[in-house]
Amino acid sequence: MVRHEALALRLATLAGADTVEAQLTTAAGRDALLVRRFDRALDGARLMTVSGLTLLQLDEMAGRYATYPDLLDVLRDAGQYPERVGKELFTRIAANIALGNTDDHARNHAALWDGQRLSLTPAYDIDPCRTPGWDANQAMAYGRNGERTSSLAGLINVSATYDLDRTEASDIVDRVITAIEDNWDDAVDEVGLTKRQAESIYGSRILNESTTDDLPTVTRAGWAGDRPVMVETDPPPPGGPVWVHPHRRSGHPVAGHWRKTR
């Protein structure tokens, strides 16, 4: 659904991912998403663009072997900004997981080539297409050992691959989740989804509960500045030892609460 993609692109942008500029419109009575081409200069000249599949020297039949770490290695070796591409790619993966985009295969990533160096293009084709159930996987593994489960906690566990420590990685993930939760209603209105349409994807495709399961949690209401801290309690809090932050589900606010581990 075009409006779903427009919504995901808008939320990814607000979450800190570098995304294509897009505008939702209608043509011949049908929804259409206009995307500004990143492979054109301001004067209309064509910019050389290489797909992620080509960067990894894979063909369509071998595309399933493409991974984010392999793409990262290429961008580090031949990239224009090797010092920041790890964080940029990590943020993109976090947004994909949180927004339910499991169609993040190698052709949905690309880099610009100026004749000397590569630079990662803005993210595009962010589609909340994951299955609504608990289990889902990203099209490309984000870990060097094949980790690809659609889990933000799993992504944090491999943060060192992207030159991030766990605190930095957790900050990015927190920012992604907060951006989606805080801007949900406005973004839904912006793309013209009905309440029923929005409810059908929130909590099932976008911010599916499994994507945030096992994230670092607060085991007592303790804070260091504005950041939660881990504090063991004896006996454990009522309801379970896992603190679920206040959030919205199907457009409705859910208060912070304790739950059992899974």
Find out whether 33 and 22 touch, Cβ atoms under 8 Å: yes
pLDDT for the residue numbered 214: 85
Q: What values do phi and psi take at 154, rounded to 5?
A: -65, -40
Find out whether 38 and 48 touch, Cβ atoms under 8 Å: no
pLDDT for the residue numbered 215: 84
Find out whether 120 and 78 touch, Cβ atoms under 8 Å: no
Domains parsed from the chain with CATH numbers: 2-176 (1.10.1070), 217-259 (no CATH)
Write out the chain's pLDDT in tens, 262 residues: 899 999 999 999 999 999 999 999 999 999 999 999 999 998 989 999 999 999 999 998 889 999 999 999 999 999 999 999 999 999 999 999 999 999 999 999 999 999 999 999 999 999 999 999 899 999 999 999 999 999 999 999 999 999 999 999 999 999 999 999 999 999 999 999 999 999 999 999 999 999 998 886 533 333 333 333 334 455 666 666 666 666 555 455 666 766 655 4
Whether a cis peptide bond, with omega within 30° of 0, leads into 246 is no
Q: For the whole model, what pTM was predicted?
A: 0.83
